[in-house]
Chain A
Amino acid sequence: MTTSNRPLAAAAGAPVLVIENLTKQYGSFTALNDLNLTLNAGQILGLIGPNGAGKTTTIKILVGLIRPTSGKASIAGVDCVSDASKIKRMVGYMPDTFGSYDNMRVREYLDFFGAAFGIAPRIRAKRIEEVMETTGTAYMKDRFVESLSHGMQQRVGLARTMLHDPKVLILDEPVNGLDPQARIEMRDLLIQLADRGKTLLVTSHILPELARICDRIAIMTHGKLRAYGTVEEIGRQVSQQRTIESTLVSAEQVPAAANLIRQAIEPGADVVEVPAEATVRFRTAKSEAELCQVLTRLIQGQIQVTQFREVQTDLEEAFMSFARPQEAIAAKPVVTGGTTHA
């Protein structure tokens, strides 16, 4: 399982971001339904969900661009709705679109936003140098913003977000469209920011990236929070059942092994034969001791087993199990005790 690179972040400070019963309705359509979340200082929260899940609505409420229908959201004790002007100074927001201006160089662009945040010219010049250094954009300071590549624009966008030294950074799809190297650099940059005490809320569709950097993950679908916790906790929430994988010496023994396993575990359990990999994969709620007996039966049945291990639920699998629409689940053929060939 991919886990966060930041084990020390668990000991992060007091709650900075608190969302309580947040609901947003557009007429009869509920974009956000009774959302509750808490995030401590110095932590990174990964907000994931399919398109239309309510991620951007949540973010826009937090930065004061949308008013909630009911509920509360606060950052460092400041209400996001009633005290929007204070929130603007505390939060750095990077939307999923860059917000480019024609004929403006990178430095001028940052200078403008620095001035818009009311940073005094001398401090601003120093601050621009700092953020450009941090985000690795110093070499492109004289380039025109509209001529930058997408990856460069993402970096400049992050630099802009950091200009006024906000406590909380809210980043909508920061790694979207980046090449692998730029993605790794962006990931390191976000970890670096969190290590400096910044609290980050990040949305992304690139789940392994989130799994690597986030201390907390929130999965949303249809405006509701479906799961919240560390990647491991979410994996456990997904299912009480575990996926076990048994690899054999010979592919010829796969059907026999599958039969033995089927007899040993719950009736109707999902058993998948993968002859190409000489593997049998199955899902079960059996305990460690009971799994031990399954292995014993395989060995007693002259099956030559090279590996017998649990396949951990990763974020992608967890996401898919929540994101899959209910109708699709209902429509999916249920395998009842049979064998599904992969």
Chain B
Amino acid sequence: MLNAMAQREMTTMLRRRRMMALQCGLVIFFAILVAVRWPTDARVALTGTRSQQVFQLFGYGLLATVLLLLPVFPATSIVREKKQGTLELLLNTTMGSWRIFFGKLFAVMALAGIILAMSLPAASACYAMGGLSLYGDLWRMYQLLLLVALLFSVLGLLVSSYSNSIDSAVRVTYGLVLCLSILSLGPHYFFQGTKGTLADLGEILRGVSPFAAMMSLTGAGDVGSQGIISQSNLLGRFTVSSLIISAIAGLWTISRLNHKIFDASRPAGTISDDQALGVRFFRRLFFLVDPQRRSGGISSLVNPVMVKEFRCRRFGRLHWLLRLVAICAVLSLGLTYATTAGTLDWGVETIGGIMVVMQVALVVLITPSLSAGLISSERESRGWQLLQTTPMSIGRIVWGKLLSVILPLLLILCATLPGYVVMVYIEPGMTGQVWKVVICLGITAVFAMLLSAAVGSLFSRTAAATAAAYGVLLSICAVPLLFWLGRDAPFGHGTVEKALSINPIAAALSVIRMPGFQNYSLIPANWWFLGGTSVVCLLVLLTQTYRISRPR
């Protein structure tokens, strides 16, 4: 039975042409990764430094590949069955929830195995250069990558069992990837070298990040170590934490795979307006803007598509936007307060850096989820056909959709402005820098929105659109940072600067003179790149929208 489940899952995943293209692409990518650092001079380096440099780059590349490619498969696995009605059929067979779960997990892990197998020729080339240990380096790297694949496969399946739509499953899973891989490194960066609960918490959190484990394995040192040498066994800690999290998430998912998953009535459509006065009062008090109140008609002054987009998003209703804005404002002011109160001796630049990272992380995390499905969700729900039969022009429809992304992004960005105002008040000399940072963030938001919308418009399914948009955006944000991590060796200043010039995070951090980025001059090259790419993306979006809208 396990075989039947796993076989079906694998056949579904592997028989697509895209998968074949992906495998070929991976082989080429890994080959290029090794080839660019392959020694070309006649001398032999006996120290093995060169092969270590190649190994570092190769390791990060593989880790990024696993993190970007794999989670979409488990994330869509259960929710797709739920949507298609095949989960009911599966649960109605004699196959138990354990077999369903392990069948699905096995298939995803087999896919991870295929992806890793594609890298073996490149890994052999690394090994052939000398200076690498088969067990100490290569085997442990693959062991780490398999653990990463296991962790995010199980988490993806758990998210999938809770989701009601495929795209929300993809969004939440990639959100988890970002949180566990990158954001978990943040507290350690800021609290390292200090003592206390926050420092301990930062150290524990770092243990769940695969990046920290990979850095420790490749000998890249601690993340942004600020000159402090740490002796922690990060690989061991990641192994333990990933296995514990995988076991808990796995058992949790198995416990969900039964009749309870369907045991819910249709929403009754309760409306506060029909409730007692007391209930209405408390709901107003609690929500400020009650999501269950009867909404008014769409004004003739606003774009109806924009209103529709807000209304049909789970977090698009006003009370959610207000909550998000409030959290951003409190965090931004809290960070600035921490500096002025003198409890943390970080300096204004570091605080500015944290705010920039926080804002860009929010933009990168939220924008594709808002923007990638603008066109594909309409096509998938067959709403596009209905929109086409209304007198609204394509330009108006697209503008309405873009507005529905621009407004929440503007709110989020504006919510963090008070922090900058306080910063300028503390350090008036930073006014120019703050202005540049604000421009950077604005351009980043526009870039992320148009890139996600353009990539998403190429797909007819929202899940694929969302995954592709996240993949492209995270690649643009993450890949140049790999070059930055390899600054001094193997990459020189010029190479790193060129790579970082396409990265919106790095540009903002360099402007605010965040330690580690202060030596790179990325403006205005970054603005030109982001602006130019945004224009191209807008053209792609319009062309694609026109193409699918015109009568065939």
Q: Which residues of A contact B (CB under 8 A)?
A: 63-67, 81, 84-85, 88-89, 91, 93, 95, 97-105, 107-108, 111-118, 120-121, 124-125, 140, 142-144, 147-148, 160
Q: List 7 A-B contacts (CB under 8 A).
A: A65-B551, A99-B386, A101-B381, A121-B299, A143-B269, A144-B267, A147-B269
Give chain B nearest CB distance to A54 CB in angstroms: 15
B304 at the interface (CB under 8 A from A): yes
Contact B391 A64, beta carbon cutoff 8 Å:
no
Question: Do the beta carbons of A115 and B298 come within 8 Å of each other?
Answer: yes
Q: Which listed residue (B297, B299, B382, B390) contacts A98, Cβ 8 A?
A: B382
- In the complex the two chains form, is B385's CB within 8 Å of A112's CB? no
Residues on the B chain within 8 Å of A66, using CB:
551-552
A326 to B293, CA, bound (A): 60
Contact present for A112 and B314 (CB under 8 Å): no
Interchain CB contact under 8 A, A102 and B307: no
Q: In whole angstroms, what is the CA distance A97 to B165 when docked?
A: 18
Chain A contacts for B192, CB-based, 8 A: none
CB within 8 A of B312: which of A65, A104, A147? A104
Complex Cα spacing A93 to B307, Å: 23
Beyond known contacts A99-B386, A101-B312, A104-B312: 14 more, CB 8 A cutoff: A93-B386, A101-B311, A101-B381, A102-B165, A103-B312, A105-B269, A112-B298, A115-B307, A116-B390, A118-B391, A121-B297, A142-B274, A143-B267, A147-B266
Contacts A104-B312, A108-B311, A143-B267: A99 and B385 contacting too (C-beta < 8 A)?
A: yes
Query: CB-CB < 8 A to A148: which residues of B?
Result: 266
* Closest beta carbon of chain B to A25's beta carbon, Å: 12
B324 contacts chain A at the CB level, 8 A cutoff: no
Whether A103 pairs with B308 at a CB distance below 8 angstroms is no
Contact of A101 among B268, B298, B308, B385 (CB under 8 A): B308
B194: which A residues are within 8 A, CB to CB? Answer: none
Report chain B residues within 8 Å CB of A100.
381, 383
Within 8 A of A (CB), among B34-87: none
A93 CB to closest chain B CB, in angstroms?
5
For the complex, give the distance between the alpha carbons of A93 and B388 in Å. Answer: 11
Known: A65-B551, A147-B269. A95 touches B386 (CB 8 A): yes
Instruction: Provide the B363-392 mask, 1 if CB < 8 A to any CB of A, else 0.
Output: 000000000000000000111011111111
Cβ contacts under 8 Å, A115 to chain B:
297-298, 300, 304, 307
Choose one: A89, A99, A121; the contact of B382 (CB below 8 Å).
A99
- Residues of A contacting B388 in the complex (Cβ-Cβ under 8 angstroms): 64-65
Q: Which 6 A-B pairs have CB atoms at the shortest separation, nearest pair first?
A: A115-B304, A143-B269, A116-B390, A115-B298, A147-B266, A142-B269
- Among B294, B297, B391, chain A packs the most CB atoms within 10 A around the CB of B297
Q: Interface size class for chain B?
A: 35 or more
B177 on interface, CB distance cutoff 8 Å: no
Is B313 close to A, CB under 8 A?
yes
Q: Give the most central of A102, A111, A121, A160: most B CB within 10 Å.
A: A102
Q: Nearest A residue to B391 by beta-carbon distance? A: A88
Interface residues of B, Cβ cutoff 8 Å to A: 165, 266-271, 274, 294-295, 297-300, 304-305, 307-308, 311-314, 316-317, 381-383, 385-392, 551-552
B381 and A65 within 8 A (CB): no
Q: Distance in Å from the Cβ of A42 to the closest Cβ of chain B?
A: 22
Residues of A close to B386: CB separation below 8 A: 93, 95, 99, 113, 160
Q: Which of B274, B313, B390 contacts A88 (CB 8 A)?
A: B390
Which residues of A sit under 8 angstroms from B300, Cβ to Cβ? 115, 120-121
- B383 surroundings in chain A (CB, below 8 A): 99-101
Residues of A within 8 A of B267 (CB): 143-144, 147
B311: A residues at CB distance < 8 A? 101, 103-104, 108, 112
Q: How many A-B residue pairs have CB under 8 A?
A: 108
Minimum CB–CB distance for A36 against chain B, Å: 21
Which one, A84, A112, A144, contacts B269 given CB within 8 A?
A: A144
Q: Are A103 and B269 in contact (CB under 8 A)?
A: no
Min distance, Cβ B405 to any Cβ of chain A, angstroms: 17
**Given the complex of chains A and B, what is the CA–CA distance between A112 and B390 in angstroms?**
11
Are A102 and B389 closer than 8 Å at their CB atoms?
no
Chain A contacts of B308 at CB under 8 A? 101, 104, 112
Whether A108 and B295, one on each chain, are in contact in the complex, defined by CB atoms closer than 8 angstroms, is yes
Q: How distant is the Cα of A245 from the Cα of B354 in the complex, in angstroms?
A: 90
A186 to B304: give the CA distance in the assembly, Å.
30
- Whether B269 pairs with A116 at a CB distance below 8 angstroms is no
Measured in the bound complex, the distance between the Cα atoms of B266 and A147 in whole Å is: 6
Q: Evaluate contact between B307 and A65: CB separation under 8 angstroms.
A: no
Given the interface contacts A65-B551, A112-B304, A115-B298, does A95 sit within 8 Å of B385 by beta carbon? yes
User: Is the Cβ of B382 less than 8 Å from the Cβ of A113?
Assistant: no
A307-B435 Cα distance, complex, nearest whole Å: 97
Which chain B residues border A95 with CB–CB below 8 Å?
382, 385-386
Tell whether, in the assembled complex, residue A93 and residue B382 are in contact, meaning their CB atoms are under 8 Å apart: no
Q: A112-B298, A116-B305 are in contact. Are A63 and B269 (CB under 8 A)?
A: no
Q: Is the CB of B297 within 8 A of A102?
A: no
A91–chain B nearest beta-carbon distance, Å: 8
Which partner residue on chain A sits nearest B292 by CB separation? Answer: A142
Q: How close is B271's CB to chain A, nearest CB, in angstroms?
A: 5
Measured CB to CB, the closest approach of chain B to A67, in angstroms, equals 4
Residues of A within 8 A of B298 (CB): 111-112, 114-115, 121
With the chains together, A208 CA to B234 CA distance in Å? 73
Complex: chain B residue closest to A117, CB-CB: B390
Q: Which residues of A contact B294 (CB under 8 A)?
A: 107, 142
Name the distance in Å between B309's Cβ and chain A's nearest Cβ: 9
Contacts of A88 on B, CB cut-off 8 Å? Answer: 389-391
- The CA-CA distance from A311 to B269 in the complex, in Å, is 52
CA distance A68 to B267 in the complex (A): 43
Which residues in B have their C-beta under 8 angstroms from that of A125? 297
Residues of B near A97 (CB, < 8 A) are 382
B168 to chain A: closest residue by CB: A102
Residues of chain B with a CB closer than 8 A to A89's CB = 391
